[in-house]
Structure formats: structure tokens, C-alpha cells
């Protein structure tokens, strides 16, 4: 089985700060991989580089063998990568279903068509996606009035619109109630199962991570310090040190300024 995503020696410096330091990993097809680490470990920086929002200082990212260097977020999206944001980004002035239709219209490259009416396009596909995330009953609601958890689910539907092979989720459950968190990750796990999508996600809630991740990577101060199954990570001395405080984390906290 070949890897969907191959990351090799990925690095990012902000001035003297090494935010991401020589990170290498692979993500297999149908795998649900968690990237965890304390605040300032470099998770979001990693994500932004994978998605093309941030230029890396070094290293390569390959998607199904293709180098992503220098590609913009929208080009990477066209290669079959979906993403959800840590802070949701939805079109507040549109209805729920129109948000999904927008992604479908873009996927079918119909942005510059002038004749059809946008709200009638790809409705069935959009409804099916909303049904998948459990939002079909709210499809005609105004996006600006949704609860935060619903926005997160809507974002997931948008991210799935172009049938991605890879899904990047930056703190998908941040700001949600505990019950919602479990439900959303269960939903993600089901999607991985049924669609064969590979998912890389960052997460702070260890219950969520340990319950659903197939594999876990731990990032600390820019470096990958562990990479293994849930059980291996649970019993890893260095990970415990990072999370429970072996003394070094807090001593050098001031140095790692980047979240």
C-alpha cells in the first residue's frame, strides 16, 4: 500500500525560532492519524505548510507522489485535499446548503458561468453531503445563525464536496461540547471507513484522540518525539514527560512562542 501523504524533513523557522524542525511522516490510505502536542508545538504551522498557506523553510510534501512545493491552497485543494479550519470559515451571508453548493460549483469549475442560477445547482449532491454530516434538516437555514458545533459539521460537508482523498482537520472539535466532540469524530471515523479517505487531524482532547485515531504522532517544540499506535503513545515515557511535565517543558516555555 502506497502512502497518500509523504512528508520529508519539513521545517519552518520564524527568525531564530525553529517552529517546525525536520518533521517526517507518512499517511496511509484510509488512515486516521492524529497529530498532538502541547501549545506552541508547531501543529498549526505544520498544517498551514501542508495546505500551502505558509511557505516551508525546507523539506518536501508529496501527495500521491506529487510534490506540493509552491502550490497555493486552491491548487492543493484541486489535487484532492480537503480541509477544515481551527476557526470556522463559512460564507455567513448564504444558507447552509448554498455553502456546500459553492464548493461543488467550484469543484465542477462553474465559477465563471453566468446563465444558471447558483442556488439550483448541484442541490442533490449538496443535500447528500449535508445528510452525511447530519445537517440535512438545517439545509435552508441562514449560515450566520448556526450554533458553533453545526458550523463545524457544515465545514466538514464543504471539505468533503470534491471527494478528497486526504482530509486535513485542524482542531476539528475545538470549542465544542464534550458530547459533540465524540459525535463529530465518530462521524469522521465513519467517513474514513466508508469512503476510504485519509485523515490527518490535530486535537487537544485526549479522549477524542485515543478513542478514534488509528495512529498518533506527538510534536514537541517543532520535533516529532513519538509516532505509534494509541497504546504505544499512552505508554511512551517522553510523551508523558511532555504532557505531565518532566520539568523541561515549563522551563523553556518562553522560547516556543508559536502556536
Partner 1 sequence: MGFFIAQILTGLANASALFMVASGLSLIFGVTRIVNFAHGSFYMLGAYVGYSFMQVLPGAWGFWTSILLAGLVVGIIGIVVEMLVLRPVYKAPELFQLVATFGVILVVQDLTLLIWGADDFLGPRAPGLKGIIRIMGEPVPKYDLALIALTPFVAFALWWLITKTRTGILVRAATQDREMVGALGVNQAWLFTGVFFLGCALAGLGGAVQLPKGGADLLMDFNILSAIFVVVVIGGMGSLPGAYVAAVLISVLNVFGVNYLPQSTLALMFVVMVVVLIFRPFGLFGREEVAGEHGQVGEPERPIKPAGQTARMIVMAGLVLLAFLPLIGDSFLLVLITDIAIFCLFAASLHFLLGLGGLVSFGHAAYFGGGAYAAALLVTYAGTPMELALILAPLAAGLTAIIFGWVCLRLTGVYFAMLTLAFAQLLWSLVFQWGDFTGGDDGLVDIWPSEWASGTTTFYYLALVLCIGGIIILRHTAHAPFGYALRGARDSARQAEATGINTKHVQWVAFGFAGAMAGIAGGLFVFSKGSIFPNELEIARSFDALIVVFLGGVKTLAGGVVGGAALEGAKDYITRFEYWRLLLGLLIIFVVIVAPDGIAGTLRKWAEKIGLMKREDQA
The SS3 assignment for 26 reads strand
* Residue 257 to residue 208: CA distance in whole angstroms: 26
> Which DSSP string corresponds to 151-186?
HHHHHHHHHTTT--SEEEESSTTTT--HHHHHHHHH
Nearer to partner 1, 128 or 249 (CB): 128
Minimum Å distance from CB 161 to partner 1? 7
Which value, in Å, is the radius of gyration of the alpha carbons in the chain?
19
Nearer to partner 1, 145 or 177 (CB): 145
CA distances from 255 to 29, 227, 258 (A): 36, 24, 9
Nearer to partner 1, 60 or 86 (CB): 86
Minimum Å distance from CB 164 to partner 1? 11
Applying CB under 8 A, the residues found at the interface with partner 1 are 51, 72-74, 77-78, 83, 85, 89-95, 98, 101-103, 105-107, 110-119, 121, 141-145, 155, 158, 161-162
Minimum Å distance from CB 122 to partner 1? 10
Minimum Å distance from CB 229 to partner 1? 31
Nearer to partner 1, 139 or 227 (CB): 139
* Angle subtended at Cα 65 by Cα 48 and Cα 161, rounded to the nearest 5 degrees: 55
Amino acid at each position: 500500500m502506497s502512502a497518500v501523504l509523504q512528508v520529508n524533513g519539513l521545517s519552518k523557522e520564524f527568525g531564530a525560532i525553529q517552529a517546525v524542525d525536520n518533521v517526517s511522516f507518512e499517511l496511509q490510505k484510509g488512515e486516521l492519524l492524529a497529530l498532538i502536542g502541547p501549545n506552541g508545538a508547531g501543529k498549526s504551522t505544520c498544517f498551514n505548510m501542508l495546505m500551502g498557506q505558509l511557505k516551508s523553510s525546507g523539506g518536501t510534501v508529496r501527495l500521491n507522489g506529487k510534490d506540493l512545493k509552491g502550490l497555493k491552497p486552491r491548487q492543493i485543494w484541486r489535487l484532492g485535499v480537503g480541509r477544515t479550519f481551527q476557526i470556522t470559515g463559512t460564507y455567513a451571508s448564504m444558507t447552509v446548503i448554498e455553502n456546500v453548493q459553492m464548493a461543488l460549483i467550484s469543484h465542477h469549475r462553474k465559477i465563471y458561468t453566468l446563465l444558471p442560477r447558483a442556488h439550483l445547482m448541484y442541490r442533490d449532491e449538496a443535500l447528500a453531503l449535508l445528510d452525511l454530516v447530519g445537517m440535512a434538516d438545517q439545509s435552508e437555514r441562514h449560515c450566520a445563525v448556526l450554533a458553533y458545533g453545526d458550523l463545524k459539521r457544515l465545514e466538514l460537508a464543504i471539505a468533503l464536496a470534491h471527494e478528497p482523498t486526504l482530509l486535513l482537520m485542524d482542531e476539528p472539535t475545538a470549542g465544542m461540547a464534550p458530547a459533540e466532540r465524540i459525535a463529530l469524530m465518530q462521524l469522521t471515523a465513519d467517513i474514513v471507513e466508508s469512503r476510504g479517505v485519509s485523515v490527518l487531524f490535530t486535537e487537544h482532547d485526549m479522549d477524542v484522540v485515543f478513542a478514534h485515531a488509528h495512529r498518533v504522532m506527538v510534536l514537541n517544540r517543532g520535533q516529532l518525539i513519538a509516532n505509534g499506535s494509541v497504546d504505544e503513545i499512552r505508554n511512551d515515557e517522553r510523551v508523558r514527560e511532555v504532557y505531565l511535565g518532566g520539568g523541561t517543558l515549563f522551563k523553556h516555555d518562553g522560547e516556543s512562542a508559536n502556536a
